[in-house]
């Protein structure tokens, strides 16, 4: 998990938020990942609203998935994701509780393995429609590796939370908060899109 790859590795990241202004937080998090200088974002999935899975009663989540390439080792990528979570006020006090921002590594190439702070692929990815459906939108034909894995579209079709996913917007990175309508079925498959370049000054300036 600490070995730096000799060539860029494709990874799938899942982002979610249900506190504060989730759409603005997700938009900024994607741009902060892109501006980090150590990953390239290849595609950003449509934005979905999903009911919280497990944990206490809480607001719905906004979720998306991004496809990236990076020279970071798996745990280096994890630390980058955790740093951005912390910048946005993430506090890990309650398992499956509400959060300002959550960034999970779903896959890192074909790597499988477990350490004390990272498991690849994500151990619950195969049963989460809010990960699988957005992923399928940006990488048709994708296959989740590892135990319980398989074609992403087939896994999405049988995921327990399938009925809880509603689509909000396609080009949501360019929209102002509040724009976009809710749909009960996935949108027409979209072409992978990269985030809008940051304005001069970078994140938060």
Q: What is the pLDDT of residues 29-41, one digit of tens each?
A: 999 999 999 999 9
The pLDDT value given to residue 55? 67
Angle at 90 between CA 68 and CA 15, to 5 degrees: 30
Q: Which of 104, 153, 161, 171 is catalytic?
A: 104
Q: Which of 49, 90, 128, 136 is catalytic?
A: 90
The pLDDT value given to residue 93? 60
Q: Which of 49, 99, 128, 136 is catalytic?
A: 99
Would residue 104 show up in a list of annotated catalytic residues for this protein? yes
Q: Identify the architecture of domain 9-170 in CATH.
A: 2-Layer Sandwich (3.30)
> Per residue in 78-91, pLDDT tens?
999 999 999 998 77
Q: How far apart are CA 182 and CA 167, in angstroms?
A: 5
For the whole model, what pTM was predicted? 0.84
Would residue 174 show up in a list of annotated catalytic residues for this protein? no
Tell me the pLDDT of the chain averaged across its residues.
84
Q: Which of 23, 31, 49, 102 is catalytic?
A: 102
The pLDDT value given to residue 14? 98
Share of the chain above pLDDT 70, in %: 80
Residue 171 has pLDDT above 50, yes or no: yes
The pLDDT value given to residue 184? 42
- Other C-beta atoms lying within 10 Å of the C-beta of residue 135: 29
> Per residue in 102-148, pLDDT tens?
999 999 999 999 999 999 999 999 999 999 999 999 999 999 999 89
- Other C-beta atoms lying within 10 Å of the C-beta of residue 123: 12
């Amino acid at each position: 998990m600490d070995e730096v790859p000799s060539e860029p590795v494709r990874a799938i990241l899942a982002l979610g938020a249900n506190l504060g202004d989730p759409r603005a937080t997700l938009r900024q998090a994607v741009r902060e990942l892109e501006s980090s200088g150590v990953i390239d974002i290849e595609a950003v999935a449509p934005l979905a609203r999903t009911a919280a899975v497990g944990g206490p009663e809480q607001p719905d989540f906004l979720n998306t998935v991004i496809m990236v390439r990076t020279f970071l080792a798996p745990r280096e990528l994890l630390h980058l994701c955790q740093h951005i979570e912390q910048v946005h006020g993430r506090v890990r006090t309650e398992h499956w509780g509400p959060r300002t921002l959550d960034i999970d590594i779903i896959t890192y190439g074909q790597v499988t393995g477990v350490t004390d702070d990272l498991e690849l692929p994500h151990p619950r990815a195969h049963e989460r429609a809010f990960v699988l459906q957005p992923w399928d939108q940006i990488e048709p034909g994708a296959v989740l590796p590892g135990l319980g894995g398989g074609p992403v579209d087939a896994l999405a079709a049988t995921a327990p939370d399938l009925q809880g996913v509603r689509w909000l917007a396609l080009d949501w990175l360019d929209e102002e908060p509040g724009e976009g309508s809710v749909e009960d079925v996935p949108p027409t498959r979209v072409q992978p899109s990269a985030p809008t370049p940051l304005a001069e000054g970078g994140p938060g300036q």
